[in-house]
Chains A and B, each alone.
Chain A
Amino acid sequence: MDQRLEALLQTIQKVLPDVDGIIGLKVNAAGHIAPHLFRKEAPAELDGLAIWPKYPTPDTLRLIQKAHPGAKLGMVVRGCEERGVVEMFKHAQVDLSNISLIGLQCTREEAEFCRCAKPYTAHAKLTVGEPIEGVPDPVTEGFLAKTREERLEYWKEQLVRCIKCYGCRNVCPQCFCNVCALEDEKWVGTGWLPMPLPPMYHLVRSMHMTAKCVACRECEEVCPADIPMAIQYRLIAGDVKEMFGYETGVSMDEKPPQLLVLAEGEFERTGLPH
C-alpha cells in the first residue's frame, strides 16, 4: 500500500471512534472511486479507502450536513478542499464547529495535474503526507504571454466549444445559489448550440467566482469541451488579492469582499490590471 494512503488509513482509524463518520474517497469493486462516508459500524469499508482522483468533497459535506446538521464528522481534505469548506463556512453553507479536518498533502504529480499554487492544507490539525511548494501554472502563464488580440481570439476559440452542460457549475462546491444567473434567459440564451453569445455563460460564471474560487479545478476536469476556464478564475483571484488583499481559504475569520460593506470615504479607482 502507498505510504501516504497507509498513513491516512491510520489517522482515520484514530479519529473514527470519536465521530459519527468520516468523509473520504472509496474505491468500488470495479475500481471506480467516489466520495464516501466511512462509519464505525462498517469498518471493513476502510479497505476501499482511496486518495486519487480527487472529487468535490466540500459539496459532500454540505449535502450530509443539510440532512444531519448536528453530526460530528471527520473529513479528509486536500488544500483545495480545505479552502472550499472554509469559504463555504463563510457563506453559511457548512458548519465547521463539529468537523475534524484531516489534511492530505498533495504530491508533486497531483499538484502539477491541478497546476496548483497551494497543494497543502493550512487549518487541519491532523495532517498526512509532506507538504510541498506550489507548482507553476503553465496554462495561465501561456495565456498571459499572449497579446490582447490573441487573448480575444483564444477565448473565442475555446468558448465556442461549450455544450452548455452546466457541469462546471454543478460540480463547483462554491456554486450553491438557490437562483442561478446562468439559468436566466436574460444572460444565457437557450435552444441553440453554440450559444448565441458563447462568452456570456463563462463571463457570468467568472464574475460569480470572484473571491469564491478556491482553485480546485474541478470545473476544468468535468468539462467535456476541455475549456481551460480556471485561467479566468485564477487571474480574477489575483485581482482580488491585489485590490482587496483577500485570498480564499487563508483565514477562517476574514470575510470575503463581497460580504463586506465598504466604509464611506474616498476610493481610488485603480482599474483592472489585466
Chain B
Amino acid sequence: MEYKNVLTTCPFCGTGCGFFLQVLDGKIVGVLPDKKHPVSQGSLCVKGWNAHGFIYHEDRLKSPLIRRNGKLVEASWDEAIELVATRLGEIKAKHGPDSIALLASAKATNEENYLFQKFGRAVIGTNNIDHCARL
C-alpha cells in the first residue's frame, strides 16, 4: 500500500499551472492543485483538473501511426521519424522550403518550442512558423 503525490506542471497550455498527481499503488488516480505553486496558487481550470484522464485512456496513442494503403498502422519511432524526414526532404527539394509550415504547440515546453522554430528556420529554411493558440 502506497499513496503519494507527485508535483508536476499541467501539460495543457503554456500558463504553467502546478498540480500534484495522486499516485496510489503506482497508479495515477487523480489531480490535486498545489496550494503553494507560484503560478496557479492552488487553482486549476477544468482542463488541469482532468489532466490525468488521458493517461490510461484506451484511445491514447502509445506509438506512432503511419498510413499505409489508406490504413493507419502502428510503427516504431525510428520508422516514423525516418518517414517524416524523408518526405519533408522530398517536398523541400521539389517545392522549396517555403512550401512547408510549422505549427508549434502550447502543450510543449518553451525549450521544445524553441527547438521547433530552430528546426524550421535553420534546418528546413522557412519562417512559416505559427502556434496552435492562433488556430
Contacts and interface: CB of A to CB of B under 8 A. Distances in A.
A53 interface: yes
A68 interface: yes
A37 B4 contact: yes
A163 B24 contact: no
B32 interface: yes
A32 B34 contact: yes
B44 A63 contact: no
B34 A165 contact: no
B12 to A, nearest CB: 12
Interface residues of B, number: 27
B25 interface: yes
Nearest to B17: A224
Contacts, number: 86
A223 B43 contact: yes
Interface in A54-97: 55-56, 60, 63-64, 67-68, 71
Given A34-B34, A167-B44, A39 B20 contact: no
B30 A53 contact: no
Interface string B14-51: 00001010101100011111111100001111101100
Contact of B29 (A53, A63, A166): A63
A37 B44 contact: no
B3 A64 contact: yes
Contact of A33 (B24, B31, B35): B35
B65 interface: no
B32 to A, nearest CB: 6
A36 interface: yes
B42 A221 contact: yes
B120 to A, nearest CB: 34
Contact of A163 (B4, B18, B45): B45
A103 interface: no
Contact of B1 (A21, A28, A36, A56): A21
A35 B24 contact: no
A195 to B, nearest CB: 12
A118 interface: no
A30 B92 CA distance: 46
A165 B20 contact: no
Given A55-B32, A171-B33, A60 B3 contact: yes
Contacts of A21: 1, 3
A101 to B, nearest CB: 17
A98 interface: no
B32 A64 contact: no
A179 B76 CA distance: 41
- Ranked nearest first, the 6 interchain pairs of A and B with the lowest CB-CB distance are A34-B5, A224-B43, A37-B3, A53-B35, A34-B20, A165-B46
Interface of B: 1-5, 7, 18, 20, 22, 24-25, 29-37, 42-46, 48-49
Given A30-B7, A33-B36, 9 more contacts: A21-B3, A32-B18, A32-B37, A34-B7, A163-B45, A165-B48, A167-B49, A170-B31, A221-B35
